[in-house]
């Protein structure tokens, strides 16, 4: 009986997943977009006018962030998940980003630019 | 947090190596007189990045195939898309491909004189990318275990959660690489 309930629970869970996940066409489109963005990033590295410009680093960070968000939202299905799962992902992610920025301010190039050290 | 600290360490030590080889800048070895161009091989790493991104695509297709296992498959396209064995195998294969690119890159660097103890760049670079490679290796082993289960008894929709957890781990490895590729390879 307990086993029957467990299997039913699993089946309901699987049905729920099937309903709330994107289709394979969406996955392929995301894959194509990820490839195109990577191609743009790599091309930018070889275009001297872009690579030496002031917008190079911000544009690379933005393109990378777009790729990151696309993988997390669609492939890791955070876009379709409950708020609690979004919070469980974004919370530690924010903590990790704050750690990187904090360490850069303490020891890295940001502290040199700001004259802290 | 582990990767955040490793990435931060790499960024902190960036440009602080006293001797080469350097990631992007040319360096002349004072002992041999040999000129070493920027050591990072962007075309090779771009190819490995593409391989890892495509492995994420095949992973979601594997999960999709498990979730929709019981749907009738009449066309060849439906049978291909519905084969979790194929997509799990493809994901593991692409993961191994990424590791081969990394092994090639590490070997080339050692031949050009960059080792873990050569300079700050070598230490932080090999630690960061090495830890990432170790995570990819663990992911490949996980995928091969899932593939073995699929071959033995067939993964059913009831197993979707187990496949999903493996997929989440694999995508995590992918998003970490997205950050590493930009911060280490593309930004000088």
Per-residue pLDDT of chain B (188 residues; tens, 9 = 90+): 899 999 999 998 888 888 878 888 888 888 787 787 888 999 999 999 999 999 999 999 999 999 988 888 888 888 888 889 999 999 999 999 999 999 999 999 998 888 998 899 999 999 999 999 999 999 999 999 999 999 999 888 999 999 999 999 999 999 999 999 999 999 98
CA A8 to chain centre: 33
**Which helix (H) or strand (E) segment is B164 a member of?**
helix B160-180
Contact criterion met (CB below 8 Å) for B62 and B167 = yes
Q: Do A64 and B164 touch (CB under 8 A)?
A: no
Tokens 């493809």 locate to B90
Task: Report pLDDT for A13.
Answer: 53
Q: Do B171 and A63 touch (CB under 8 A)?
A: no
Q: What is the ipTM of this complex?
A: 0.90
3-state secondary structure B33-52: CCEECCCCCHHHHHHHHHHH
Q: Do A68 and B4 touch (CB under 8 A)?
A: no
Q: pLDDT tens for residues A40-58?
A: 999 999 998 888 889 999 9
pLDDT band at A106 (very low <50, low <70, confident <90, very high): confident
Contact criterion met (CB below 8 Å) for B8 and A99 = yes
Instruction: Give B174 or A16, the one with higher predicted confidence.
Output: B174
pLDDT band at A6 (very low <50, low <70, confident <90, very high): very low
Return d(Cα B53, Cα A41) in angstroms, integer. Answer: 14
Tokens 């086993």 locate to A3
Note every long-range contact of A6-14, with CB atoms under 8 Å and residues 24 or more positions apart, other chains counting. Answer: A7/B158, A10/B157, A10/B158, A10/B161, A11/B157, A11/B158, A13/B160, A13/B161, A14/B67, A14/B157, A14/B158, A14/B160, A14/B161
Tokens 């090639």 locate to B104
User: Does B76 sit behind a cis peptide bond, omega within 30 degrees of 0 on the bond before it?
Assistant: no
DSSP 8-state class, residue B57: H
Q: Do A76 and B158 touch (CB under 8 A)?
A: no
Q: How many CB atoms lie within 10 A of CB B15?
A: 15
Residue A27 in contact with partner chain B when CB distance is under 8 A: yes
pLDDT above 80 (res A108): no
- Residue B28, SS3 per DSSP: strand
Query: What residues 34-93 of chain A have any CB closer than 8 A to a CB of chain B?
Result: 34-35, 38, 41-42, 44-46, 51, 56-57, 60-61, 63-64, 67-68, 71-72, 74-76, 92
Mean of pLDDT values over A31-48: 94
Residues of A in contact with B56 (CB under 8 A): 31, 34, 71, 75
Q: To probe the interface with A, which of B25, B94, B160, B163 has the most A CB atoms within 10 Å?
A: B160
Task: Report pLDDT for A1.
Answer: 40
Task: Report pLDDT for B1.
Answer: 85
**Which helix (H) or strand (E) segment is B167 a member of?**
helix B160-180
- End-to-end, the C-alpha distance of chain A in Å comes to 67
């Amino acid at each position: 009986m307990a086993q029957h309930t467990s299997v039913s629970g699993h089946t309901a869970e699987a049905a729920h997943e099937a309903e709330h996940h994107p289709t394979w066409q969406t996955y392929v489109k995301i894959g194509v977009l990820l490839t195109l963005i990577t191609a743009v990033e790599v091309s930018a590295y070889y275009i001297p006018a872009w690579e030496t410009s002031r917008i190079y680093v911000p544009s690379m960070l933005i393109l990378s962030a777009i790729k990151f968000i696309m993988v997390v939202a669609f492939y890791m299905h955070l876009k379709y998940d409950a708020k609690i799962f979004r919070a469980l992902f974004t919370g530690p992610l924010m903590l990790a980003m704050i750690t990187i920025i904090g360490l850069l301010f303490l020891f890295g190039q940001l502290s040199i630019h700001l004259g802290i050290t | 947090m582990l990767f955040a600290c490793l990435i931060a360490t790499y960024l902190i030590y960036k440009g602080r190596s006293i001797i080469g080889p350097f990631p992007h800048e040319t360096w002349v070895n004072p002992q041999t007189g040999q000129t070493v161009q920027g050591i990072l091989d962007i075309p090779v790493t771009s190819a490995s990045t593409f391989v890892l991104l495509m492995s994420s695509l095949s992973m979601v297709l594997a999960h999709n195939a498990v979730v929709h296992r019981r749907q009738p498959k009449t066309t060849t396209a439906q049978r291909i898309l519905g084969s979790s064995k194929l997509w799990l195998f493809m994901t593991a294969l692409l993961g191994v491909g990424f590791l081969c690119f990394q092994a090639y890159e590490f070997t080339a660097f050692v031949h050009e004189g960059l080792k873990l103890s050569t300079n700050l760049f070598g230490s932080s670079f090999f630690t960061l990318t090495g830890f990432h490679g170790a995570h990819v290796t663990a992911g490949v082993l996980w995928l091969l275990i899932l593939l073995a289960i699929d071959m033995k008894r067939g993964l059913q929709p009831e197993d979707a959660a187990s496949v999903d957890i493996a997929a989440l781990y694999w995508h995590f490895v992918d998003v970490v690489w997205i950050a590493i590729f930009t911060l280490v390879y593309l930004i000088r």
